[in-house]
Amino acid sequence: MHLSADSPTVGVVGGGQLGRMLAEAASPLGVQLVVSDPMPNCPANHVAREQLVGEFDDYDTLRSLAEQVDVLTYEIELADPDTLDAVSEETGTPVHPAPETLRTIQDKLVQNETFAEAGVPLPDFRRVDDADDLRAAGDELGWPVMVKARTGGYDGRGNVPVESPDDAADALAEVGAGGGGAVAEELVDFERELAVIGARGVDETATFPVTETVQREEILRESLSPARTDEATRERAHEVARSVLAELDGRGVFGIELFERERADEANEILLNEVAPRPHNSGHWTIEGCVTSQFEQHVRGVVGLPLGPTRRHGPTASANILGTVSEPARARLAGVEEALALADTHLHWYGKREVRPLRKMGHVTIVGESEPPLSPVRDVVETLQFG
C-alpha cells in the first residue's frame, strides 16, 4: 500500500470515545476517519474528518458512509450486520471485522455455542426462553447463576445474577430478555478477571500483554498490566485468546474478556467470558503503555497494513473517570491542573457534553517501573471532580 495525500479513509459506525481514539490513532498513519452516529457532534466528531448523523442501522446513512470511504468498521455492537452486508454488496466497500463475526458476537447464545464447539473453555451455560427454563437451568448448573440477555447487552449491561428459582421471572424482566431469550451461565467463583486484546491482520494475528481488570457494579474501574498472576497463567490466557481469534472472520481488534479460576492442586483455569469485536475499555492502557496502541492496531488491521509490535513499555495502570453526579448535568471537569501535576499522568477526556451517573467520561493512565501503579492512578482520579 502506498501512502499519499489520498491515503485510505476508514468509515466507522459509531462515534463515541472509541471512534474518537481511533481517529487520534489514525492521523499519524495518514489515515482519515469518517464516522456515523445518531448523536450530532458526537465525541469522535471533534477529531474525525466528518460525521454523518444517522442511526446505527440506517441503510441510507451507512450507504452514504460506505460511498466515501475505502473500508468500513464499527466501534459499537449495535451496528447492524445485515445492513452492513447489504451496503457492502451494493458499494463494494469491505467491512472489517466481518459482519458474520458481528452476528456471532451480538447473540450471546450463538457466541457461547460457537466457542464451545471450537473447544474454547468457558463457563457451563444453558439456553433460556422463559422463567421455567431459567429455573431448570439453575437446578442443573447450581444456584446462583448469571443470566444474560442474548442480544442488546454490552459493557456489563443485560447481565444479572439470580440467587434462587423465586427470582427467575424478575431477573428475566431486569435484563430485558423479552422475546429474545437469554443465556444462563454458571456463576464463576473467579480469582480475578483478565482481558487480552487480540488482533487479526491480513495474514497474521497478534495479542497484547494480559490485563487484569478491576470491576465494580458491572463497570470497569481499573486495568493493570501485567496482571497480578503468574507467568504460566498469563500464557494460558494468551492461548485461549489465540484460540478465540482463530474462530473469527475479518480484520481488526477484539477485546477478549476472561476469568481466572483457582483450582485445588491444579494450575489455575482460564475461562472465556465474552468477546467484543472492536477496541475495548480494558485496552485503553495500551495508548501509553505499549509500542502500538489497540487503536492504531485496529486501524492497521482494517486498512490492511502490517500489525504493529505489542511490547509493553513498562508496568501500566489505567482508571476510568466515571460520572459521580446523582442526575444528568453539563459535563465540566475540575481538578485537572492538580491531576496533571502528579508524576507521569496521562489524561484522556472524551468530550461528552453531559455527565450521567457512572457514565464513562474519560480515563487516566500511568506507566510505572516495577509494578502497575494502581495507587497513583487512583489518586489521580480522586483529584478529578465534576462541577
CB 201 within 8 A of CB 142: no
**Residues 227-236: contacts with CB under 8 Å, at least 24 apart:** 227/192, 227/194, 228/192, 228/372, 229/191, 229/192, 229/194, 229/260, 229/268, 230/268, 232/267, 233/260, 233/267, 233/268, 233/270, 234/209, 234/210, 236/267, 236/268, 236/270
CB 208 within 8 A of CB 310: yes
Helix segments in the chain, DSSP class H: 17-26, 59-67, 81-91, 99-106, 108-117, 131-141, 168-175, 231-245, 286-289, 294-303, 336-341, 374-383
In the numeric block, which cell numbers belong to residue 290?
Answer: 505499549
3-state secondary structure of 278: coil
What residue numbers does the annotated binding site for ATP cover?
Answer: 108, 148, 185-188, 193, 273-274
45: which residues sit within 8 A by CB, 6+ positions away?
Answer: 15, 35, 37, 51
142: which residues sit within 8 A by CB, 6+ positions away?
Answer: 186
What residue numbers does the annotated binding site cover?
Answer: 108, 148, 185-188, 193, 273-274
Element (DSSP H or E) covering residue 329:
strand 329-330
User: What is the rounded distance in angstroms from the CA atom of residue 270 to the CA atom of residue 341?
Assistant: 39
User: What is the rounded distance in angstroms from the CA atom of residue 222 to the CA atom of residue 289?
Assistant: 14
